[in-house]
Structure 1
Amino acid sequence: MREENDHTKSQQITSVWVRDPRIQKNDFWHAYIDYEICLHTDSVCFTKKTSSVRRRYSEFVWLRQKLQANSLLRVRLPELPPKNPFFSLNNARQIGDRMKGLQKFLEQILQSPLLLSDSCLHLFLQSQLSVAKMEACAAGRTHYSVAQAVERCGLRRFHSVEDLQKDLSMSCDSDSDSSECRDPEHKIKDLGINKSKSSALLDLMGTSQEETLSCSSGST
């Protein structure tokens, strides 16, 4: 029976791609490039079998540091593409080389059973939480678990239950007279969003635009 389980695990496939570099502007003077990370897997290690998030180089650096610390040096981690002091956002060759290096790094990371058990890796690959929130979630200092953070990645963000009520009312004003439109509270109940859960949801979603959970498996 154990041999059969080991064989099943060996047949599981995880594919990862780093693609679609985009320039993101913090303000007029500061900008950076982030990359889309697409994951497709049939591994039981992952909560979601397909996912897509965007990460920047500095977040890859954070991930490597966390994995190295959490593994207690029992695993020799692959290197990231080196940080180039002359890296240019307008140099397509430099961007392409970095992107290939980041993908190679993730491909090697995903071959380690020990690293696959690290919560930080799963949050990095399958949530759009910031570094600070990933650290807090992995340490159990949030109202939501790692699995919940991954599952909720891609949900539309609402600032409050009242905002959701307003959105539902506006969408139902003119074109529909169904019972769901006449009773927004019923719709809210169906979606599983209520005041007893709103604090955890809002904590997860964050309050800044940077932490908006906007990933989707079909993103381009």
Structure 2
Amino acid sequence: MQQVISVWVRDPRIQKNDFWHAYMDYEVCLHTNSVYFTKKTSSVRRRYSEFVWLRQKLQEHSLLMVQLPELPPKNPFFSLNNAQQITERMKGLQKFLEKILQSPFLMSDSCLHLFLQSQLSVSNIEACVAGRTPFSVVQAVRRSGLRRFHSEEDLQKDLCMSCDSDSDSSECRNPEKGIKGLSADKSKRTASLDIASTTQDKMLGSSSGSA
């Protein structure tokens, strides 16, 4: 079966650090059937500076064996309110990722996988790849986007918080039913994660050690 990797950079949003400082990030969506990826669909948000970091890391790890594509140039006059500049930057970032994902060599890099499929910051990505985190690269990717409950007490607490809103769902009217349903969903998600292929684990695990 032909392997397909599709990536999109879209949905620009202005994020505020404080009253005076703001930046823009973008949604990076991935859809694939490639054996290189543990997750077949993912969505994370990244800012321009993180793309710059990714290119630097890929260049370091490839030891100049691969000619990396260029990022859209940094514009000192870039405006968060200029729709044309934002659109051009998004197109450039997407083109950058599309070219990277054409290289099997680069797709074995753990930094790329964590950048595309985890919510980790760049500093935590570096720590994970270096083995300085309690979780592996594969575990970080698998856990991304999943909400985990550790006990029925946590489930009950979550349901109570939901019922404090204007929601009138059946879970709020019947908390026990909600807990059972969420527990069942948790079991299904755990079972689904355990089916991940050995090939994928080995590929990402080995790249984590080499990086």
Q: Considering the TM-score relative to the shorter chain, is it more than 0.5?
A: yes
**Deviation, structure 1 residue 141:** 1.1
Identity %: 74
Q: 3-state SS of the aligned residue for 2:139?
A: helix
The residue number in structure 2 matching 1:74 is 65
Show CA shifts across 1:115-154 (max 9, x none). 0000000000011111111111111111111111111111
Aligned equivalent of 1:49: 40
Moved beyond 4 Å, runs of 4+: 160-165, 168-174
Instruction: Name 1:175's counterpart in structure 2.
Output: 173
RMSD: 2.7
Q: How far, CA to CA, are the matches of 1:107 and 1:177 in structure 2?
A: 46
User: Residue 13 of structure 1 corresponds to which residue in structure 2?
Assistant: 4
Q: Tell me which amino acid in the other structure corresponds to 1:69.
A: E
Residue equivalent to 1:65:
56
Matched ranges for 1:68-147 at <5 A: 68-147=59-138
3-state SS of 2:173 partner: coil
Distance verdict in 2 for CA 1:173–1:121, change over 3 Å? closer
User: Any stretches of 5+ residues in structure 2 without a counterpart?
Assistant: 164-169, 189-211
What is the TM-score of this pair, normalised by structure 1? 0.72
- Quick one: distance in 2 between partners of 1:174 and 1:47? 35
Matched letter for residue 13 of structure 1:
V
Q: Number of paired residues? A: 178
SS of 2:30's partner is strand
Over residues 141-178 of structure 1, what are the superposed CA-to-partner deviations in whole Å (9 max), with x where a residue is unaligned? 111111111111112377x8675563356669962264
Local SS of the residue matching 1:113? coil
Report the TM-score when normalising by structure 2: 0.75
